[in-house]
A and B are shown apart, each in its own frame.
Chain A
Amino acid sequence: MLPDRPITPTTLSVKDLPWQIHWDKDKCTLCGRCTAVCPVHAIEPAVFRKRMFNASLTPGQAPTNVHQVYHGIRQRTDPAYACVGCASCTLVCPNDAIMPMRSDESDKLRYHINRGGQPRSRGGRRNAPGGILDQIKFIRISMLTDPALDAGRHEFELRTLLGRVLPPEENMRRFREKGWIPPVREIYPLIIGGMSFGALSPNMWEGLQLGVTYLNEELGLPVRICTGEGGCPPRLLRSRFLQYVILQIASGYFGWDEIIHALPEMEVDPCAIEIKYGQGAKPGDGGLLMWYKVNKLIAAIRGVPEGVSLPSPPTHQTKYSIEEAVAKMIQSMSMAWGFRVPVYPKISGTSTALAVLNNLTRNPYAAGLAIDGEDGGTGAAYNVSMNHMGHPIASNLRDAYLTLVKVGKQNEIPLFAGGGVGKNGNLAANAAALIMLGASGVQIGKYVMQAAAGCLGSENDRCNICNIGLCPKGITSQDPRLYRRLDVDMVAQRVVDLFLSFDVELKKIVAPLGRSTALPIGMSDALGIGDAAAAERLNIKYVV
């Protein structure tokens, strides 16, 4: 900074930013790839002036100096262009000459990304490393009194049920009398949660669908994927692959015009309908697809004009109470498919979850309840919603399960848990912990993006620009120049890898517990934690 350069409150130095670009002049070939690839234009080619001294060792000879210039990379400090740490520059650099590094102290940028009075919005996650799920251990190891099983060679039946299950007496009676038995799907307990066509790029979506189809049709693993709120491509709606898909309806009803029109032409029923009332990443806030991502294709599927932001209302606008919102919607959606498709609500983790659950227990059409905890991810939300709103999943799920146990309906309404499952990479351990706390299955989103497509997000505020359609990996972008970076078949391959490895790890957890005949839902005696308060809260063993 020159001495006479004006300082404004928002004048920041590179040091004040969360990420600093380290650039090595000696290695750089000035090829320009890094500046071209940077999604936020945080770096630009620059000319640097440099003064060179030449001090001779010959006595009496005066030193000389010369001014030179050299070319290189400069990091911009304007908050609008702050580096997001995605390291796309590093990825493309032929000589490994450039890399963003995390600042060694808390950044000052956070106080300034609200220009024009607009608070920060972003995609991604809560950016809170750690969490209770990783602390839970599986302590009931089969030793001598019953043999531990061979995870590699024993037979396992690790399926779960999605749908309203009748009490045995009632089920037997209806079977005998040929009465209506609510639809129940036998599915794999790891579900790809709702990420919309629009939030995700076409290549990402296609890759996920392809991977799920392969898992079902070639490997016999009944994996299901939820569409999120954005409708479903017309050809998929009319194909047999729809049976692997959970269609989501949310408060914006995006895409449902297309879905309803496709109803008479559907070859098969969808797996289920998920009514989204809330999302763990931004509870009480509706979905949001920012205008950057609403191109012609997305606009067509969603039935909206191009280039406008699509904020879904925080709640279903035609409904004003839980009776309206839950009971009537569940019944309407059930009726649309002739009561052949399970319909269940998804809510964000909240201290009022039990009130919702209690309502569902009395609704004979409610097929389950999905609860999305505070660690869930999103394509776009306000920073404050993501970081500070919501309820952790573990205790919310546990309370819900124990409530069902109390009223004896633990087998009737399956609970699905989401939000931060595998956020530190421990997918199978987190999923198994939730299942043993009472979940019938778990939903994942961010983990799929990371494992199947190489999402760069971390729990340290890296990248997080899903909202503006500039995803450097092409996962959440609608710009063909970006999403063509993502190879559809390779995403599918990674989806398959992810599920197969999860399956092996899940067996490695349940086999030592002596479980193989059924998914150990609610097997809380197997869980322990080294935190007395958490143990008491979750009603599991405190172990040190």
Chain B
Amino acid sequence: MCRLFAITSETPLSPMVAMEAMDVMREGHDGSGVGLFLRDLSGPFEEMKDAPILSGIFSEAGIKRLDRHMMDLGFMTKYRISIKVPKVPPEGTPRRDLYLIRAYEYPEEWDILSQADKEDRLVQIRLELRRMGEAEEDMIVFSFWPDVIMIKEIGDPMTIARYLGFDRKELHARIIMAQGRQNTNYAINLYACHPFFLQGFASMTNGENTAFVPIREYLSSRGVQGYGGYQSDSEVFTHILHYTVRRLGLTVETYKHVITPLQDRTIEGHPDGAFLKQLKHSCRRLTIDGPNCVIGCLPDHTLFMVQDRKKLRPGVVGGKPGRWAFSSEICGLDAAIPDRDKSRDFQPMHLDTTIVAPDRQEIDICSQTAPLHQPR
């Protein structure tokens, strides 16, 4: 079972906060990999919130191909973080030429594009780079999006954090999501590492998605750019989130009704029963069957945790106004926010969605049996 940790804070934090939390939960992961998602960045990126940032791992040949490709598209480098790594990587971690975090200036001709068009093109470019990288095995691309950095690598989280220098100031962020892997595939593919990201939506998951194949088939047949390349059964959670919010125009509390709908007899007595019934019918192929704990982040910086119907995975939320953390275990929470009121810690159960809004003042608990806030 993997371990998850996410934190949202008014003041920027070092990713080491998450790594320390991951480290105290080390009994729950086997150190086979770590994934890091940073958003609402501070430092140099604070000044360039709109500039798309490319995160990935490149070989010498790969970076040359990348530069040529981006230049052809008209992208100019605006800022970059160079991660210089020691010559010898930690045991079990492959030797890489370059970990890239680079902010770009949009091409001039993009000025006339609508925001939606820009967003679609960013996804298109990321997918192109991924395809190019998979063909030559010289690039791995995690994200290409404004105000978002992603790093993934094989190895023990704390060791990797030190190796890659996660404590550097440029990486401070107000939203951090991290996963410590308990790897279930022998050959570790970094595209199978959480968190997953698409057009501003990110999620990471603990558990196994037993309904993966029908969901993958359904998402792949939606005709939506980016719904593909599934190396992990958990990647579908990100795409279902994207589909629910972006395509259907629904809220994050409704996400829970999509992935684990209420049973028919409960829907009948629900104040929004008529709507929920339609949602359950038409999104039936997106019903997950768990056991899964999902932590996700929306483009507006909302952070949430949701459990599946079986509630067989651990998950706890706690903190104080201005700083809230989501963790697989309470010890992770203790490591990150020791000075919180522990009696207010909340473990979402099978009907709950726990949401921290962008203002970071409180945790909002939505029960599936309660009326929806969603205007319909």
| Chain A residues proximal to chain B, CB less than 8 Å | 140, 142, 145-147, 149, 154-155, 157, 159, 161, 165-172, 175-176, 181, 184, 186, 405-408, 410-411, 513-518, 520-525
16 contacts between A and B (CB under 8 A): A146-B208, A157-B263, A166-B282, A168-B279, A168-B282, A168-B283, A169-B248, A171-B278, A171-B281, A172-B249, A175-B278, A517-B308, A517-B310, A520-B214, A522-B213, A523-B211
By a CB distance below 8 angstroms, the chain B residues around A142 are 208, 210
**Does A157 lie within 8 Å of B264, measured CB to CB?**
yes
B284 to chain A, nearest CB (A): 6
Closest residue on chain B to residue A513 by CB atoms? B210
- What is the CA–CA distance of A146 and B274 in the complex, to the nearest angstrom? 33
Complex: how many Å from CA A513 to CA B213?
13
Residue from B208, B214, B250 having most chain A Cβ neighbours under 10 A? B214
Task: Verify A411–B264 contact, CB threshold 8 A.
Answer: no
Q: A-side binding surface: helix, strand, loop or mixed?
A: loop
Chain A residues near B263 (CB-CB < 8 A): 155, 157
- What secondary structure prevails in chain B residues at the interface with A? loop
Distance between Cα atoms of A333 and B248 in the complex (Å): 32
Q: Please report the C-alpha to C-alpha distance between residue A246 and residue B211 in the assembled complex, in whole angstroms.
A: 30
Q: Chain B: residues with CB nearer than 8 A to chain A?
A: 1, 184, 207-208, 210-214, 217-218, 221-223, 243, 247-250, 260-261, 263-264, 274-275, 278-279, 281-285, 287-291, 308-310, 312, 376
CB-based nearest A residue for B216: A525
Given contacts A146-B208, A159-B264, contact A410 B290 (CB under 8 A): no
Bound Cα distance from A109 to B129, whole angstroms: 72
Contact A184 B284 (CB under 8 A): no
Q: Which residues of A contact B275 (CB under 8 A)?
A: 175
Instruction: Tell me, rounded to whole Å, the shortest Cβ–Cβ distance linking A278 to chain B.
Output: 28
Q: Closest A-chain residue to B267, C-beta based?
A: A186
Are A169 and B247 CB-contacts (below 8 A) given A517-B309, A520-B214, A523-B211?
yes
Q: How far is the CA of A170 from the CA of B282 in the complex (A)?
A: 9
Chain A nearest CB from B27 CB (Å) reads 16
Closest partner residue, chain B, to A414 (CB atom): B284
Q: Is the CB of B282 within 8 A of A165?
A: yes
Which residues of the partner chain B approach A405 to less than 8 Å between Cβ atoms? Answer: 217-218, 221
Expressed in whole angstroms, the Cα–Cα distance for A175 and B282 within the complex equals: 12
Is A406's CB under 8 angstroms from B221's CB? yes
Q: Is A514 a contact partner of B217 (Cβ separation < 8 A)?
A: no
B contact residues around A167 at 8 Å (CB): 282
* Chain B proximity of A175: nearest CB distance (Å): 5
Bound form: Cα–Cα A181–B282 in Å: 11
Contact yes or no, A520 B282, CB < 8 A: no
Of all chain A residues, the one with the shortest Cβ separation from B223 is A408
Q: Is the CB of B291 within 8 A of A146?
A: yes
Nearest 8 CB-CB pairings of A with B:
A408-B221, A146-B208, A514-B210, A171-B282, A518-B287, A522-B214, A168-B282, A525-B213
| Interface-centre pick from B210, B264, B281, B308 (highest chain A CB count, 10 A) | B210
- B83 CB to closest chain A CB (Å) equals 33
B281 touches which of A176, A184, A408, A516 (Cβ 8 Å): A184
A515 CB to closest chain B CB (Å) equals 5
Residues in B with CB closer than 8 Å to A523 are 210-211, 213-214
For B213, what are the chain A residues with a Cβ–Cβ distance below 8 Å?
522-525
**CA of A140 to CA of B249, assembled, Å:** 35
Our pick among B274, B285, B288 for the contact of A517 (Cβ within 8 Å) is B288
Q: How far is the CA of A146 from the CA of B218 in the complex (A)?
A: 23
Which A residues lie within 8 Å of B218 (CB)? 405, 408, 410-411
